[in-house]
Structure 1
Amino acid sequence: MRVVVAGATGRIGTRTVARLRDHGVEVTPVSRSTGVDVVTGRGLAEALRGADVIVDVTEAPSRAEAPSVEFFGTATGNLLEAAATAGVEHYVALSLVGADRVQRGYFRAKAVQEERARRSPVPHSVVRATPFFESVDALARSTAHTDGVHVAPVPTRPVSTDDVATELAHVAVGLPLFGVLETAGPEEYRLDELTAKLLAARGDLRGVVTDPRAPFFGALLAERSLLPGPSPRSGHETVDRWLARR
């Protein structure tokens, strides 16, 4: 089996390549640094020639709604068109828990990506993940008001990128789902409480302001926007273990 990983140099991509190699499959990492551009289509045909599976963990250059929707609309279309031409048998995409409900901001961009996959003749699987520890940590450090970091009090089950990469690799070496699998961490936190914990672990003294109107990835969230359904695939790494390892 030969698996192509698009977006292979990103946070999830590098881990996914490693997990796939643990499965003993042949992996071809592709990104702009390897001469493949998913937006223009440059190098895609050559990269996918002879591939059995493509794992799409590409990341939009912006989390804002308009540019991310444009990116995934174009990039996913190009990947699927090239995959169909090359005879690829399985397209695996990483998405977000809530992409089917929120429909704003970055969530809307991921919904566009999922729709492209559903309409393609290429057999597909979509892996929706809850927020990564790393994503919440990065947002906490980059977003602040004069009175502190504003975060919505919505529950979620944050997950480590290592656990997500493991799930992506597992799905990639299996049969296409023709649908969605959700993956989440083993613990439930409110997003504002998790942010406070991550800031404290860094020694960041800024306060967290609980704000129901605070956006997350460009969208206002309802109570269950970031919670998976009743039977997600559960990761193993807890927040405390991730902090200790980091």
Structure 2
Amino acid sequence: MRIAVAGGTGTVGRHVVAIAKERGHEVISLSRAEGVDLVTGRGLDQALQDVETVIDVAGIGTMSTKKAVDFFTNATQNLLAAGKKAGVKHHVALSIVGIDNANSGLYAGKLVQEDEVRHGGIPWTILRSTQFHEFVPMSVKATSLGPLVFVPTMFTRPVAAREVAAALVDAAEAGPKGRIPDLGGPRTERLKDLVAACLARTRQKKRIVPLHVPGPMGKAWRNGALIPAPGSAVGRQTFLEWLEAIDAA
């Protein structure tokens, strides 16, 4: 199968590209580094020629509702329009568990993306996953100020990015299924405990400062609304196992 991966150089995208190639698929990565701009549509028509399936794992790092909504609206509409023109038969999108309970920031953008996919005219599959293990060191970097790291109160069930990627390739191979079961990691964790483990493993001497995030997003983080419901798919690798694996690499 000829598969195009939007965001193919990102945290999940690089695993999607690798796994799809391992399984014998022909893979096209779509990113600005490779001459494709999802927001403007530049390069999409050429890149999607003869593509059968698009896997969209592109994202934006923002807490702004407007920026998130604008990005996912433009990127998804452009992907779908170019896909229809190229004869794409299946559009697979990665979303986030629990976003119905937190319609702000990035989650508002993902809700818009899901709606565009459902009504985009191409048979589709949507997989929602929890935060990836990589989210923890990324959040440490983003919220550190000198010897302090500000950590939102949050319950999560982190999952390995590679396991999410494998599930997306599975979905591509299975054909359009609509909304498929959510995917989360094997354990419910407090973000501050994950940050503490990450700091210890990387020998960073920082003090954790609890952060109360206001609004619907912060409320969803605190009350566990982003934890997958019973019956969801469950990944295998725990966060501590992931930390040990990257240390050994």
Q: Tell me the TM-score normalized by structure 1.
A: 0.91
C-alpha deviation, 1:224, in angstroms: 2.0
Q: Which residue of 1 aligns with 2:170?
A: 170
Instruction: Report the secondary structure of 1:159's partner residue.
Output: coil
Q: Which residue of 1 aligns with 2:114?
A: 114
Alignment of 1:202-217 (within 5 A): 202-211=202-211, 213-214=212-213
1:203 corresponds to which letter in structure 2? Answer: R
C-alpha deviation, 1:26, in angstroms: 1.5
CA contact (8 A) 2:62 2:105 kept: no
Distance in structure 2 (CA, Å) of the matches to 1:221 and 1:170: 33
For residues 179-233 of structure 1, give each alpha carbon's deviation from its aligned partner in whole angstroms, at most 9, with x where no partner exists: 243111111111222222222222122222334x2369x9313312220111222
Distance in structure 2 (CA, Å) of the matches to 1:177 and 1:118: 11
Gaps of 5+ in 1: none
C-alpha deviation, 1:160, in angstroms: 1.5
Distance in structure 1 (CA, Å) of the matches to 2:99 and 2:133: 18
1:116 corresponds to which letter in structure 2? Answer: E
Cα separation, partners in 2 of 1:233 and 1:10, compared to 1, 3 Å: same
Instruction: Report the secondary structure of 1:4's partner residue.
Output: strand
Distance in structure 2 (CA, Å) of the matches to 1:89 and 1:63: 33
Is 1:3 the counterpart of 2:21 in the alignment? no
Task: Between 56-65 and 33-42, report the one with greater CA deviation.
Answer: 56-65
Distance in structure 2 (CA, Å) of the matches to 1:221 and 1:202: 30
CA contact (8 A) 1:15 1:162 kept: yes
For residues 22-68 of structure 1, give each alpha carbon's deviation from its aligned partner in whole angstroms, at most 9, with x where no partner exists: 22221111222222211111121121121110001112254432212
Distance in structure 1 (CA, Å) of the matches to 2:208 and 2:180: 34
Is 1:19 the counterpart of 2:19 in the alignment? yes
Distance in structure 2 (CA, Å) of the matches to 1:28 and 1:200: 39
2:36 corresponds to which letter in structure 1? Answer: V
Q: Tell me the TM-score normalized by structure 2.
A: 0.90
C-alpha deviation, 1:116, in angstroms: 0.7
Q: CA RMSD in A?
A: 2.1
Distance in structure 1 (CA, Å) of the matches to 2:8 and 2:202: 28
Alignment of 1:1-246 (within 5 A): 1-60=1-60, 62-144=62-144, 148-211=148-211, 213-214=212-213, 219-222=217-220, 223-246=223-246
Instruction: Report the secondary structure of 1:173's partner residue.
Output: helix
Instruction: Report the secondary structure of 1:17's partner residue.
Output: helix
CA contact (8 A) 1:106 1:219 kept: no
Distance in structure 2 (CA, Å) of the matches to 1:133 and 1:67: 24
CA contact (8 A) 2:143 2:151 kept: no
C-alpha deviation, 1:15, in angstroms: 0.9
CA contact (8 A) 1:12 1:161 kept: yes
C-alpha deviation, 1:78, in angstroms: 0.5
Distance in structure 2 (CA, Å) of the matches to 1:100 and 1:236: 26
Instruction: Report the secondary structure of 1:55's partner residue.
Output: strand
Gaps of 5+ in 2: none
Cα separation, partners in 2 of 1:107 and 1:121, compared to 1, 3 Å: same
Instruction: Report the secondary structure of 1:228's partner residue.
Output: coil
Distance in structure 1 (CA, Å) of the matches to 2:167 and 2:233: 8
CA contact (8 A) 1:65 1:104 kept: yes
